[in-house]
Amino acid sequence: MRSRLIVLLSVTFVVSFCSFAYEFVYSELLTVMYGGTVTQYVITVGLYFFSLGVGAGLSDDLGADRSANFFRTEVYLAAVAPAGFLLIVGLNSVTIPSWVPAAAVWVLARLPVVAVGWLSGFELPLLTRMVQQTGVETASWTGRWSERVSALSRRGLGLFWHTHTPEGRRSGLSVVLALDYIGGLVGAVVYARILYPRLGLVSTIVLLALINAVGALVFLARFSDRWGFGGATSLSFTNEPGVLLVVCVLLTAGHAGALTHHEQLDEQVSGLYLEHKMESEYPPGAMEIDIVEQQTTKYQHIVRYRRTWTGPGQNPHFTGTTEECLRLGMDVQLCESWADSYHDGLVDVPMSMYEHSPDTEVLVIGGGDWIAIDQLRAYNVSVDHVDLDSQFMEYAKRTQFFRRWHNDSETYARLNTTAEDGYAYLQGTDRRYDLILLDLPGASDNDLLKLYSTEFYQLLRSHLEDDGVVGTWAYSPNAHPQHHKAYVNTVRAAGFTHQLPYSAWEDTDSDGRTERVERFYLLAPEPRAPIDTDRTAYTRQYANRYEATQWEPVPRYAGVRLNSIFHPNYDIIIDT
């Protein structure tokens, strides 16, 4: 009986590990699909605990055969959890008819959270009763070290509560709850530090389901008399139908097989979703998308894909019929047709205002693809480069897709690269710069809110030389008016009272006409020197586009809150 108690407590830890990790997977998946990290995590956790409570409350209605019910619960979880994951992906991989209410889709996408929480709610009451049913003294089986820890704990508790010494026995509830909370903590840490960054969401959900299925088989082997494994036991275990055992074995084999080919599984599931999402940006049937490569780092999901024009007439988006692009999450970062012109706008236009010498100090925040660094190398300036994602920077160094543009610029002699959060870097340095370039992802989720906050721009301002400017790309105010108003008020409140708006230009589709590629702003506490159209090759080429640009006051929009770390304005987030 003592060995069976150990099995029960070990199972308690394992199922808690899986249960908590499931909710983190669902939270992240819903964030990827619908945006809003805080919103999705808060709602998911709230629904999960609500469903746990419902399951726990209904556990008294289960039959007396607790072992059999627990086995069934684990089998159901091993099937329902990955199926729920696929349901959420599927809802975002098909075109939902316009007559379907958005609220109905919202509810349907969160049913997997409720189902997993409800099933998990059965686990603790069943395990608690089975632990108590063993009749083993739960304080004595662990040995003397447990008694010593208990004695020290009682001394501490005795300072604030009335305590007593349990005589060789603890309640099954206290032991099960303790292991449940410990398992939840371990599940959170392992998910955040190992599972998500190394396996990604798809493989993680399959691994957790596999653990549930294996746990069910181990439990069955230890406690079932029918299958000849359990031997004499005081735990009731009725004759489970053989089909349930077959289902559990098949689930175990299926999940294990999927994990052995986890890269292909991840590509197929991700490709189904991504291709649908990317195709939705173009007229139906006009663009075919093929995923080339996917990588998951600690901070983001990297997707390289090939897009092919299949619509009628000449391709209006780029030269030829096919080109390769890069996305981080769902945000497009780079396409072959405009990679050069984007970085010309980011780097070459502001560099028309500064000396091309080592005395010019430039800070680049972001730019982990190293392309902006190569552009700056051409001007012989001194560069500090700060990017959070060291894994992405290493990936970009060795991948030919990026090397054609960055030309191994990480070897530039006047470059100092730091793998750190840009906000934290600015807080920890007193260096001042002539030019600060922000090559950052768009404001598409809560994780990026602080890089679009008044506090961040105040830090930028404090690190500028007297004639320094900040250069950044920006969303179109016409396409995203609410974001633009919140962003402008945020920047102005940080002390950047003047701006110089401009665009990058290029004939991206070789039709003889120049197209606008990206919108940029130079920001400063007061007007600076104008763009010198004769100072860089790019500004000379498009001199007619930049001759009329001038510094102007940053507008202020009445009734629009700025975005602060401590009082965020979610209007600044772009729904992708």
pLDDT for residue 232: 46
Instruction: Give yes or no for residue 284 having a pLDDT over 80.
Output: no
Instruction: Give yes or no for residue 337 having a pLDDT over 70.
Output: yes
Structure confidence by residue, pLDDT tens digits, 219-265: 888 777 655 444 544 445 555 667 888 999 999 999 999 988 877 77
Instruction: Give yes or no for residue 376 having a pLDDT over 70.
Output: yes
Higher pLDDT: 194 or 138? It is 194
Higher pLDDT: 142 or 384? It is 384
Structure confidence by residue, pLDDT tens digits, 106-120: 999 999 999 999 999
Rounded Cα gap, residues 390 and 146, in angstroms: 43
Beta bridge partner(s), residue 322 = 308
Rounded Cα gap, residues 496 and 470, in angstroms: 9
pLDDT for residue 7: 82
Instruction: Give yes or no for residue 201 having a pLDDT over 50.
Output: yes
Q: 3-state DSSP: the chain helix, strand, coil percent, rounded to 5? A: 55, 15, 30
Query: Which of 410, 450, 409 is CA-nearest to residue 426?
Result: 450
Instruction: Give yes or no for residue 403 having a pLDDT over 70.
Output: yes
Side by side, which strands form the sheet with 301-309? 287-296, 301-309, 322-328, 331-335
Beta bridge partner(s), residue 327 = 303, 332
Mean pLDDT, range 17-44, rounded to an integer: 87
| Domains by residue range for the chain, with CATH | 2-136+172-266 (1.20.1250), 283-334 (no CATH), 339-572 (3.40.50.150)
Residue 337's SS3 state is: coil
Contact (CB, 8 A) for 383 and 414: yes
Query: Which of 440, 434, 445, 451 is CA-nearest to residue 524?
Result: 434
Mean pLDDT, range 96-105, rounded to an integer: 87
Query: Which of 32, 575, 27 is CA-nearest to residue 273?
Result: 32
Instruction: Give yes or no for residue 139 having a pLDDT over 70.
Output: no
| Region label for 438, one of left (φ > 0), alpha (ψ between -120 and 50) or beta (otherwise) | beta
Higher pLDDT: 193 or 228? It is 193
What percentage of the chain reaches a pLDDT higher than 90?
55
Structure confidence by residue, pLDDT tens digits, 141-153: 455 555 666 667 7
pLDDT for residue 482: 93
Highest mean pLDDT among 20-34, 155-169, 270-284, 387-401: 387-401
User: The whole model's pTM is what?
Assistant: 0.75
Contact (CB, 8 A) for 552 and 524: no
Structure confidence by residue, pLDDT tens digits, 463-514: 999 999 999 999 989 889 999 999 999 999 999 999 999 999 999 988 889 9
Q: Picking from 159-163, 302-306, 353-357, which range would have the lowest pLDDT averaged per residue?
A: 159-163
Query: Which of 70, 52, 50 is CA-nearest to residue 128?
Result: 70
